[in-house]
Amino acid sequence: MSASELPAAPAPSLLTRSLNTIERVGNKLPDPALLFAVLLLVVWLLSWWLSRYSFDVIDPRSGQALVIDNLLDGSSFTAFMSRLWRVFVEFPPLGTVIVAMLGIGVADASGMINAGLRAILGVTARKLLTPMVVMVGLLSHAAVDAGYVLVIPLGAVIFYAVGRHPLAGLAAAFAGVSGGFSACFVPTAIDPLLSGISTTAAQIIDPAMQVGSLNNYFFSVASSVLIVFLGWFVTDWIVEPYLNRTTAVDGDMSEMPKLEALSTAERRGLIYALVAMVGGLALVLLTALPEGSAWRSPTPPNGLAQIDAPLMQSIVALIFFLFLIPGVVYGYVTGTFKDHRDVIAGMSKAMSGLGYYLVMAFFAAHFINAFTTSNLGALVALTGADWLKAAGMHNMVTMVGIIALTGITNLFIGSASAKWALLAPIFVPMLMTLGISPDVTQAAYRIGDSSTNIITPLLPYFPLIVLFCRKYVKSTGIGTVVAMMLPYSVVFLIVWTVFFLGYWALGLPLGFAASYTFPATP
């Protein structure tokens, strides 16, 4: 058969063409590091221009009309220069990434992670890898931001090890860690953080109102099941087929794990490493359980999961030690480590791979800081909230609007608590006057906050995701990541919203001491 007689290749679907366009346009933007630098200049100019105008929106943090700060006036610019290094070193993800990667680097260099993954893959059916990765991503919420530096890169490694597209595994993990941020099977630090803000906002209407820390727990557990299935569907039916058609893996895979059977030495090393890890966790647990434990929060009710509890503040340190020590044990048992120099070399190798991330993080830190301190993000959020309040729609339609507005605001303000601190004083009292409890409003907020995390470059960990992708596809840019994650964001936002409305209509319990109505009905 001649070339002219060959059947024509099927035309790409509308979805493929759309995602290709998003990726192409996004990747024509400058290098992510330079893009953040350009955006910083744009924020400076916008702050100078908008600072000349007065706005009617009230800033709930001050009770005064919102003012845009001119970042180009003398005092602001000199403050920028004097704090240039401090803004960078205090960038929230920076310490998390560096410290966690030191411990993970040792575990990787010893071969422990390689062997551990092969052991997991040996007992996990290939068709169940996707839900497993998404579920682990959800469970990582209990360890605050640990999933970004641990679960997401391992999702890529696991998929590659069984011959699947590594970026699909990374996307599934990213969807679980960040897209399903407000869904988890266990309580997390974000629960008391958001409920505390909700309590303050609710007391504008009812000074005696208290919002429970686990007021959304049952809905969060139910949402976790939903997110696992949605993540599984989007990965296997949309994202991975798209990546297989359009994105060839061209990274250096020479050190990626293969699926050979574990040797006797590797099995013995894993057993000793597991004993070391379990022993470390048991030690932390035994010292944390007593009522007077130093791991507990100093403020009542002195819980372990409170945001100010030393245990929650030590998650990054625990990750460091719980990978460092088992990694060292594995290395010496299997012989991959001969002396301490091999351990230090493992740490050094992990740090050398973060060079590009540090460059991106420098510019991203200053852009996000400028966008926040100028109040431009607050202007977007509060203007949208005022419009929604004035629309006077049906309660459930209003809730859909709150979810949509939160998702849009999330593209400009990455922090969940910062957004809720802005929006709660508007949404919570407004809906209480309509007979809707703060528990319902907070649940709606969490859906919008989670669903668009994975497509906003303002997410503090977004530069790290680009770096992880470049290990496999060197041409990865912001457009690649956004195009890859957009199907998750759209599906999560739509289906999760419908699920929420159905959950509400059925009157299923939202959480402990939670109600759908205000005042609460028995």
Residue 463: asked if its preceding bond is cis (omega within 30°), the reply is no
Closest CA to 155 of 469, 474, 453: 469
Task: Note whether 57 and 380 are within 8 A (CB).
Answer: no
* pLDDT tens-digit readout, 154-203: 889 888 888 889 999 999 999 998 888 888 887 666 776 778 778 877 88
pLDDT of residue 145: 67
- d(CA 472, CA 117) in angstroms, rounded, equals 18
Tell me the backbone φ, ψ of residue 428, rounded to 5 degrees.
-60, -55
User: What DSSP letter does each residue of 425-475 carry, written as one string?
Assistant: HHHHHHHHTTTB-HHHHHHHHHHHHHHTGGG-TTSTTHHHHHHHHHTT-TT
Q: Give the best-scoring range by mean pLDDT among 20-29, 207-216, 314-323, 462-471.
A: 462-471
Q: Please give the average per-residue pLDDT across 414-439, as a whole number.
A: 76
What's the whole-number average pLDDT of the chain?
82
Q: Which residue has the tokens 């005042």?
A: 519
Task: Note whether 219 and 511 are within 8 A (CB).
Answer: yes
- d(CA 72, CA 66) in angstroms, rounded, equals 18
Q: Please give the average per-residue pLDDT across 259-281, as a whole number.
A: 89
| Nearby residues of 429 by Cβ (< 8 Å), 6 or more positions away | 201, 202, 204, 205
223 vs 201, more confident:
223
Residue 436, beta-bridge partner list: 517
pLDDT higher than 70, residue 521: no
Q: Is 277 left (phi over 0), alpha (psi -120 to 50) or beta?
A: alpha
Q: Please give the average per-residue pLDDT across 472-495, as a whole number.
A: 90
- d(CA 289, CA 272) in angstroms, rounded, equals 26
Neighbours of 353 (CB within 10 A): 12
> By three-state DSSP, how is residue 32 classified?
helix
Task: Note whether 22 and 479 are within 8 A (CB).
Answer: yes
- d(CA 489, CA 503) in angstroms, rounded, equals 20
Q: Give the best-scoring range by mean pLDDT among 45-49, 433-437, 511-515.
A: 45-49
Q: Is 482 exposed, middle or buried (0-12, 13-18, 19+ CB in 10 A)?
A: buried
Q: Please give the average per-residue pLDDT across 82-99, as a whole number.
A: 83
Task: Note whether 88 and 305 are within 8 A (CB).
Answer: no
Task: Tell me which H or E stretch contains 58.
Answer: strand 58-59
Task: Note whether 273 and 327 are within 8 A (CB).
Answer: yes
pLDDT higher than 50, residue 428: yes
Residue 517, beta-bridge partner list: 436
Neighbours of 513 (CB within 10 A): 13
- d(CA 13, CA 35) in angstroms, rounded, equals 31
Side chain identity, residue 338: K
For residue 107, give both structure tokens: 């575990």
pTM for the complete prediction?
A: 0.71
pLDDT higher than 70, residue 451: yes
102 vs 170, more confident:
170
pLDDT of residue 189: 61
DSSP character at residue 511: S
What percent of the chain has pLDDT above 90? 29
For residue 429, give both structure tokens: 């009292």
Q: Which residue has the tokens 């400009």?
A: 412
pLDDT of residue 475: 85
Q: Please give the average per-residue pLDDT across 143-151, as a whole number.
A: 71
Side chain identity, residue 159: F
DSSP character at residue 66: -
Q: Which residue has the tokens 């729609």?
A: 393
